[in-house]
């Protein structure tokens, strides 16, 4: 795998671009160079945030939406406000530096840093993605099981300290859910709230087609606002389709005309089964969606 790792010297949100440009704040790390202090709170407590950008031929998808979400996550965790101009510039440049054609991903991580220093830590990992990596899931679909999330759909309003809707480094629960899905013979998990509503998958958003309308769960319900889902809705509206944000029951997902999980790198993966029940897969529409998302 072609991969580049960079350390970012983060600056204050209001700092202006230096004379030599923002790329001067980035250092490419060698494979044997230490990047992270063992005392960093991102490693010891998951006290940090991240974004994963998809790219195609050096173009970064949904860059503004990703950086806006990063800012919201930083605010939720009381982290220093990111310098959006700096991060915009270095992510764009990193996408150009990858020595591989086609698709790639950029994982941008910001942590609180070493306790007591007040200096945040930042880095990027840029990875090339083979065209075959997600081809079968985009084409043939994925098997999904429903797993309880353990909280109600309005948890973000009732308990903001749980950080529902923030993209934090604390992904142990999400990874455990994916492992449980694998144990049940599925590819993915779909979280359901205690009051019976479909939420999201561990690393992706749910979109369903119901009676000619494309629907997703609103981000105010503790859902991470989906950047790829947002771009998909813009595309669909441009094609003359109807879109909506509202709560969805699991029964509605089961009876949908089609359903997808949307993420920045895999893009649109259609659900072919839910808890073992076969679902309709719209092969032609899915191909059109993924072609459009790759071509953004």
The listed CATH number (3.20.20.70, 3.20.10.10, 3.40.50.720, 3.40.50.970) that belongs to domain 135-294: 3.20.10.10
User: What one-character-per-residue DSSP string does 174-222 give?
Assistant: HHHHHHHHHHTT-SEEEEE-TTSEE--BTTBEEEEEETTEEEE--GGGT
Dump pLDDT digits (tens) for 157-190.
Answer: 888 888 888 899 999 999 999 999 999 999 999 9
Instruction: Note the pLDDT of residue 100.
Output: 82
pLDDT for the residue numbered 145: 99
Are the C-beta atoms of 185 and 198 separated by less than 8 Å?
no
What local confidence, expressed as pLDDT, does residue 1 receive? 61
Can you tell me whether residue 242 is helix, strand or coil?
strand
CB 244 within 8 A of CB 214: yes
Class of 3-128 per CATH?
alpha beta
Q: What would the pLDDT profile of 78-136 be if each residue is shown by its tens digit?
A: 999 999 999 999 999 999 999 888 999 999 999 999 999 999 999 999 999 998 899 99
Domain edges within the chain: 3-128, 135-294
> How confident is the model over 50-81, as pLDDT tens digits?
999 999 999 999 999 999 999 999 999 999 99
* Range scoring the smallest mean pLDDT among 90-94, 223-227, 255-259: 223-227
């Amino acid at each position: 795998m072609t991969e580049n790792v960079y350390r970012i010297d983060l600056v204050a949100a209001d700092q202006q671009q230096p004379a030599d440009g923002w790329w001067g704040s980035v250092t490419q790390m060698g494979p044997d160079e230490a990047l992270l202090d063992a005392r960093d709170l991102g490693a010891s407590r998951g006290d940090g945030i991240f974004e994963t950008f998809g790219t195609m031929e050096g173009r970064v998808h949904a860059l503004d939406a990703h950086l806006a979400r990063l800012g919201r996550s930083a605010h939720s965790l009381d982290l220093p406000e990111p310098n959006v101009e700096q991060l915009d510039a270095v992510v764009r440049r990193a996408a150009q530096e990858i020595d591989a054609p086609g698709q790639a991903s950029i994982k941008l991580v910001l942590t609180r840093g070493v306790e007591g220093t007040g200096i945040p830590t930042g880095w990027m990992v840029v990875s090339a993605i083979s065209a075959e990596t997600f081809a079968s899931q985009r084409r043939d679909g994925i098997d999904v099981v429903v797993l309880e999330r353990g909280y109600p759909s309005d948890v973000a309003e009732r308990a903001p300290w749980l950080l529902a809707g923030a993209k934090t480094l604390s992904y142990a629960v999400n990874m455990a859910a994916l492992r449980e899905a694998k144990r049940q013979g599925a590819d993915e998990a779909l979280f359901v709230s205690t009051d019976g509503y479909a939420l999201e998958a561990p690393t992706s958003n749910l979109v369903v087609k119901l009676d000619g309308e494309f629907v997703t769960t609103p981000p105010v319900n503790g859902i991470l606002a989906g950047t790829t889902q947002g771009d998909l809705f813009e595309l669909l509206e441009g094609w003359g389709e109807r879109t909506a944000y509202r709560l969805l029951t699991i029964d509605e997902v089961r009876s949908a005309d089609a359903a997808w999980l949307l993420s920045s790198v895999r893009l649109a993966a259609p659900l072919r089964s839910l808890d073992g029940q076969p679902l309709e897969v719209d092969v032609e529409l899915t191909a059109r969606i993924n072609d459009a998302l790759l071509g953004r």
